[in-house]
């Protein structure tokens, strides 16, 4: 079980998730297995809201309940370097897609500019980045 830190726990509680920890797989697991654990824990949950954040705008996160394979086409250009990307949620009023890769790294794909950013190396890091409005790093080159 992964504790949900006090920095974001109230946002999950306001969305109806009442536990202090979650069972999301991480390092050492495939993207598909991690995604399935997210669907089981948070499927259909809408957490947070867009607004003023710590370093940039905070986001809402709307978790998928099942795989959305059609959205993988959006990130096809990165499949050479990140073949395991798996969509798990939409964020920022559907202007971002949240993806997980093998090993538990999270990426954010932004619409309409079509850029991909590393969002964190764990579920909690990615959620803190989005929900608290922490700055994204540089966009990842498609050919990296």
Encode pLDDT of 56-67 as tens digits. 999 999 999 988
Task: Show the tokens assigned to 55.
Answer: 């370093």
- The residue among 110, 46, 111, 35 whose CA lies nearest residue 119 is 110
pLDDT of the residue at 37: 97
Q: State the pLDDT at residue 59.
A: 97
Q: Is pLDDT of 79 > 60?
A: no
Beta-strand ranges (E) seen in the chain are 2-3, 21-22, 46-51, 58-63, 86-91, 96-100, 106-110, 115-120
At residue 73, the pLDDT reads: 63
Can you say whether the dihedral through the CA atoms of 81, 108, 36, 2 is positive or negative? positive
104 pLDDT higher than 90: yes
pTM of the model: 0.90
């Amino acid at each position: 079980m992964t504790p949900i830190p006090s920095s974001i726990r109230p946002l999950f509680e306001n969305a109806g998730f009442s536990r202090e920890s979650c069972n999301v797989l991480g390092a050492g697991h495939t993207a598909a297995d991690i995604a399935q654990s997210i669907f089981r824990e948070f499927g259909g949950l809408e957490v947070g809201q867009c607004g003023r954040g710590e370093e940039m705008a905070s986001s809402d996160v709307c978790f998928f309940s099942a795989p959305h394979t059609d959205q993988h086409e959006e990130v096809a250009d990165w499949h050479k370097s990140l073949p395991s990307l798996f969509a798990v949620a939409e964020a920022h009023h559907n202007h971002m897609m949240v993806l997980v890769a093998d090993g538990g790294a999270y990426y954010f794909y932004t619409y309409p500019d079509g850029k991909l950013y590393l969002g964190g190396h764990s579920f909690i890091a990615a959620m803190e980045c989005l929900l608290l409005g922490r700055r994204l790093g540089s966009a990842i080159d498609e050919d990296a």
